[in-house]
Structure 1
Amino acid sequence: MANQAILRLTREIRQFQQGTDLSLAVHYEDSDIRNVNALILGPPDTPYQFGFFEFSIKFGKDYPTNPPQVLAMTTNGGRCRFNPNIYATGKVCFTWRGTRGEQWSSAQGLESILISIQSLMSSNPYENEPGYADATSEHDKRNSEQYTAKIRHETLRLAVIEPLEASLGITPASEANASLSDNEERELLEDDKPSPVPFVDLRKRRFMWYFDSYMQSIDAAMLETPGKQKFTRMPFEQSNNAMNGHFDYAELKQRLTAIKARIIEETSSWAAEGLVAKEQELGIAVSLQRQYEQILESIKNQKNFAIDLNLVNENPFLWKLTYFGKPMTHLDGGIFEIDIFLSPKFPEVQPRVSLKTSFFHVRVSQDGVLCYIPHRSEEMRYHIEGIVAALEEENPPYDPRTTVNPEAFRLFWGTPENRKRYSRQLRRSVEKTLE
């Protein structure tokens, strides 16, 4: 029975890892594949937007006959209830434990579990509470707005900021937990420890993608709650199963800015660390040097005149890619300089890519961070291909998770007139690359 569970789960994880869903990530213990950690990205256009929510999933020997045990880990040490169906204790209420016809089925699996959890993170989570789904009074409407507002605040604080501060070794300016309603001392519980290693790098890279969106969300929220208003308690919240605290967007903004600065500092340090690795002739330095030479040879053989690739100071951990816009495309005539920073821990830690050339594009943040998806993450040739594909993509599919410039996003998927404005700004930015 246990072997069947392991075989089933092994197959599901393999299929999951080969997928392209940017909202879900999993990691399992080598000692027991049945112990899975999962990360769910908060869905766009919800108060959970781009938050990183962790869950522990333990599969029994009788899986898939019976469902696994699921525990939410993003709970502020058991003090924050993020949803009517996601308790402060970590308990997650699924529909399959409800009425007849909604029970667990062996046809379900790891992916359906994560999608079920993600579906709870809706634009109006207040309606998830039984008995409130059809509430239409002004009081219920106001409660819904206030509930959404505090979830948005705590998503930034607990599902974005605090885990990143922990992994970066940042101590907040104020040791007091600004969003708690009293002065209780914080205990270092399991939920407060740094995230599993695979998720640490994912959080950092995605944070840089979504930084502009986080700041834009804060600016909009500060207009509604400019001070330190206390959170409103909902009718279904109890003292030990609630979301208590108060708003403090000004502090969150400062902490987000400090995290960004630290990630940039960390990224810049890779070049020096890489030179040490090269001098010591470590395997990763040799591997990256070889990959660079192979890619260069491939570019030469294919007579690809759109790409020029170099190592900065002969450092295999700092690549410079120059891309020349192809004729008759939206990049025609442009010259784009791109820095590729590689960690000595590659591929466990993925490259961080930044355009030195200012470029108005849905895939490029205001600070030049490029959002791209390599077909495979362990070889640099796929990263180069992914970078070029992201730049050349003229009609990207609608996906807020991969559009990292909020203003470009608004114009590109706005009215026909807005789309024209987007194209004009893009062309102007291409022309400026020649100045």
Structure 2
Amino acid sequence: MYRKEKSIQLKSSSAALYNNLSVLRLPGRQLACFSAVHGPSVNVVSAAADGLGFSHRQLQAKEGGMAVSTSILTQAAWCVLPSRVLLVLTSQKGIQMYESDGSIMVYWHALDVTEHPPGTSSGVVLVFDIPPKGTNITVSEVLEQHRDAITDIAAELGQAPDGAGDLVTADDNGTLCVWSTGEEFTLVSKIPAFGEGRGTPNTSPWHVGLQLRREEVKHAPVSSCTCSSVKLWNGVVAAGYGNGQIRLYEAATGLLRAEVNAHARWIYALDLAPETGKLLSGAEDSFVHVWKLSRNLDTDDVKPLVRHRGHREGLTAQWKPSWAQSELPAACDPQSCPGLVEIEHCHAECVTDTQVCGARFCDSEGNSFAVTGYDLSEIFRYGRA
């Protein structure tokens, strides 16, 4: 169970953008940094662990060339690299990179006629070569598998199985691409959007539905749907969609392993605690849910029975194997996959009258998390009771 803690006030409200909250926990210090975007500026707040001390900073979107209008920021996020931490802002006119506290801008990548930053309708992803220190940052590669606007990018947070890739990108049409990084990026798998013909059959070991007030909501084919947020953990891709679903895929093969009707409305944010496999989801329906991901290596324990996980009155997640034990498909053989993927509900929190647009864990174990919402001038914090 989680309980509400002292909230953090912002200088301005949060915009209705996907994943509009970023959290940086400074190692060895009882201090955390939070950021949220509003129009042409981003609010950066440093907060003490006891919630008593705050420090505010506002960063503005850089204007490119002969600017005649204000540039709008689309995202702000801390990128934790092996040798340094950067605060990266994306806008309509380019990409800005700052030192982690926002004090010094170390790089500016302008948008011109022939070049597009991540998140535009071109669907390209830019790969940057960043030195341990200094400003000699360069574009090393351009990835062009997507045909729609990039909505989210996530690196592997756990230990990737061999051949599973270590980066995933998502776009506005719902397509996911899993990449293997190195001297050059290699496409490992491409997961088509809803409604498109899949290159691999749907051999999901669990068909997950929801029972809401005793009325079962069953899965039905839908048209392509935006993937607003994505995470990668231990070779499992967790993707949140505009129809309120969370889907779990094998990163190496693109096979669907589980799906759950997690929210009643559009999912705006996902986050994952790498040390425990906890998954955080937030949506327009004012709810934030905490889930637990795991792999069941005992594939012989599959039974044609419904298993219930109660997590809120009138709301029960159901795992329904679509075959009897004797019909276990070859794709789930222990020799061909590292165990069945399971998702279990742990906690639900209603953020009253709030269209949640940002939700992040504040630590690697998932013992605390923060939430913000559209037109909300504060960040709510929750900790384990």
Length-normalised TM-score, structure 2: 0.27
Higher helix share: 1
Give 1 or 2 for the bigger CA radius of gyration. 1
Higher strand share: 2
Pick 1 or 2: higher relative contact order, CA cutoff 8 A, min separation 6. Answer: 2
Length-normalised TM-score, structure 1: 0.25
